């Protein structure tokens, strides 16, 4: 709660300094707080049914609302929309978490079949990133069954998310070796990398307070030239750096690290905690290269999953942290 309060307070400070619009950040903080609280409560009362219902709801949203982004549906490697891919990853994680919480083998098999259906839905929807992220979450969940300690296993997702974020930052700064930079440039549209470079340039000039929340579209030189631009750099990390300075980046990273710490300390079983960590890492990676976190369904869904994975079931379901 201290971190979420700091995120809300800092967005108001930076908005006041540069006449910004903090409503988007405040809505995201509210969605995270409400989703996490709802996840803790529903996960305590219904440790299997709640994440199962969440998985079905996430899949239904991805199928019924494929055009979550108001801008163009970018091509490889994001498939359609980053938000759609993030919803599919969260739905897979929720189904796998419900499977690990279930005690009946037949129910556990059915829930894993639901997770496989979510992976297949990503291919049907044409979301390459959604299909890949969902498959990665499913494979990590199956591998988590053999895990004994969770610290080292959670360090892997943290390193993966950090690698993606660092690569995007280095690509925007033209700091990558020629071969690697060329390979990554080929994977992303030219206007996407142009937005990233603009965001990093603005962050360099306004590293203290940023340019103010919601003002990237006004200050960027690349955004007005982008077809159907939504005024965002399509990278949560670079957007925070440009609009709220280095303090905003620190708060964003701190929230993610706190979630991993909460999963490390959760009384739920180790496979369930590692599954949630894999799904949330997939969302973090997608948010580094898209505008996934700009949608309330994604932020609330990620908080719900974190709440389910850290809830204390009333019936005593779940293992001790060391198991």
Domain ranges (residues) in the chain? 2-310
Over residues 107-138, the pLDDT tens digits come to: 999 999 999 999 999 888 888 888 999 999 99
CA distance 199 to 220: 7
> Band of the pLDDT at 67, cuts 50, 70, 90?
low
Is residue 89 within 8 Å of residue 137, measured between CB atoms? yes
- Using the Cα atoms of residue 229, residue 197, residue 284 and residue 251 in order, give the sign of their dihedral: negative
**Residue closest to 292 by CA, chosen among 278, 280, 310:** 280
**What pTM was computed for the model?**
0.88
Secondary structure class of 230 (helix, strand, coil): coil
CA distance 163 to 160: 5
CA distance 37 to 35: 6
CA distance 293 to 270: 27
Q: How many CB atoms lie within 10 A of CB 149?
A: 12
Over residues 226-264, the pLDDT tens digits come to: 544 566 788 899 999 999 999 999 999 999 999 999 999
Is residue 55 within 8 Å of residue 246, measured between CB atoms? no
The rounded Cα 312 to chain-centroid distance in angstroms is 23
Over residues 169-205, the pLDDT tens digits come to: 888 888 877 667 777 766 776 677 888 888 888 888 8
């Amino acid at each position: 709660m201290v971190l979420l309060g700091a995120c809300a307070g800092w967005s108001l400070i930076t908005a006041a300094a540069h006449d910004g619009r903090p409503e988007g950040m405040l809505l995201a903080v509210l969605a995270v707080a409400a989703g996490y609280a709802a996840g803790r409560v529903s996960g305590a009362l219904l440790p299997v049914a709640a994440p199962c219902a969440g998985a079905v709801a996430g899949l239904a949203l991805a199928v019924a609302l494929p055009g979550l982004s108001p801008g163009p549906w970018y091509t490889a490697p994001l498939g359609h929309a980053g938000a759609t891919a993030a919803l599919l990853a969260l739905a897979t994680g929720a189904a796998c978490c419900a499977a690990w919480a279930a005690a009946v083998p037949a129910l556990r098999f059915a829930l894993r079949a639901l997770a496989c259906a979510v992976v297949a839905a990503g291919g049907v929807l044409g979301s390459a990133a959604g299909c890949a992220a969902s498959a990665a979450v499913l494979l990590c969940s199956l591998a988590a069954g053999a895990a004994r300690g969770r610290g080292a296993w959670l360090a892997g997702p943290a390193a993966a998310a950090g690698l993606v974020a660092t690569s995007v930052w280095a690509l925007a700064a033209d700091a990558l070796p020629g071969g690697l930079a060329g390979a990554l440039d080929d994977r992303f549209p030219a206007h996407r990398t142009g937005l990233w470079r603009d965001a990093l340039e603005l962050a360099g000039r306004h590293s203290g307070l940023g340019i103010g929340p919601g003002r990237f579209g006004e200050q960027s030189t690349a955004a007005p030239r982008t077809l159907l631009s939504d005024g965002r750099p399509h990278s949560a990390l670079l957007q925070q750096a440009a609009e709220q300075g280095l303090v905003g980046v620190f708060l964003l990273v701190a929230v993610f690290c706190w979630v991993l710490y909460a999963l490390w300390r959760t009384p739920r079983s180790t496979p369930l905690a590692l599954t949630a960590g894999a799904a949330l890492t997939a969302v973090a990676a997608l948010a580094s290269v898209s505008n996934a976190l700009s949608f309330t369904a994604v932020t609330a869904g990620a908080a719900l999953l974190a709440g389910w994975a850290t809830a204390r079931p009333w019936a005593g379901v779940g293992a001790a942290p060391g198991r």
